[in-house]
């Protein structure tokens, strides 16, 4: 299943820019590839791997800004793409 992480983080102050940069670096360290400046993608195998990624990302969220996570099953032709705001992740996704 493909996992997409999209975010809009404030960069007005130096600490906010550092937090945004740290979050981008964390995603790269976790194996996500940058599709656009604030859009990162990674393929994971199964629900357990997905749940692990969500928990790890949740622990590294910046204090401010919006982070969305989208995921789709491996065959994208089914077009069942789900979206969640990662700060309030529904239980059904884990």
Inform me whether the pLDDT recorded for 6 exceeds 80.
yes
Instruction: Give the mean pLDDT of 78-83.
Output: 44
Q: pLDDT value at position 67? A: 82
CA distances (Å), origin 72, targets 9, 12, 16, 83, 84: 24, 33, 30, 9, 12
- Residue 81 and residue 94: Cα distance in Å, rounded? 15
- In this prediction the pTM is 0.75
Inform me whether the pLDDT recorded for 73 exceeds 70.
no
In the chain the first and final C-alpha atoms are separated, in Å, by: 13
Residue 9 backbone dihedrals phi, psi, to 5 degrees:
-110, 140
Q: What residue spans define the domains of the chain?
A: 2-87
Strand 2-8 with 66-72, pairing: antiparallel
The pLDDT tens digits of the residues spanning 17-39 come to 999 999 999 999 999 999 988 99
Residue set of the binding site? 8
Does domain 2-87 match CATH 3.30.70.240?
yes
Inform me whether the pLDDT recorded for 82 exceeds 60.
no
The pLDDT tens digits of the residues spanning 47-60 come to 788 888 888 888 88
- Nearest Cα residue to 21 out of 30, 31, 9: 9
Residue set of the binding site for Mg(2+)? 8
């Amino acid at each position: 299943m493909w996992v997409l992480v999209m975010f809009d983080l404030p960069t007005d102050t130096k600490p906010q820019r550092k937090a945004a940069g740290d979050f981008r670096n964390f995603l790269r360290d976790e194996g996500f590839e940058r599709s656009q400046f604030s859009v990162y993608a990674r393929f994971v195998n199964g629900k357990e791997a997905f749940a692990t990624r969500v928990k790890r990302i949740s622990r590294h969220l910046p204090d401010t800004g919006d982070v969305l996570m989208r995921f789709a099953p491996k065959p994208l032709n089914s077009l069942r793409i789900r979206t969640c705001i990662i700060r309030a992740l529904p239980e059904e996704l884990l």
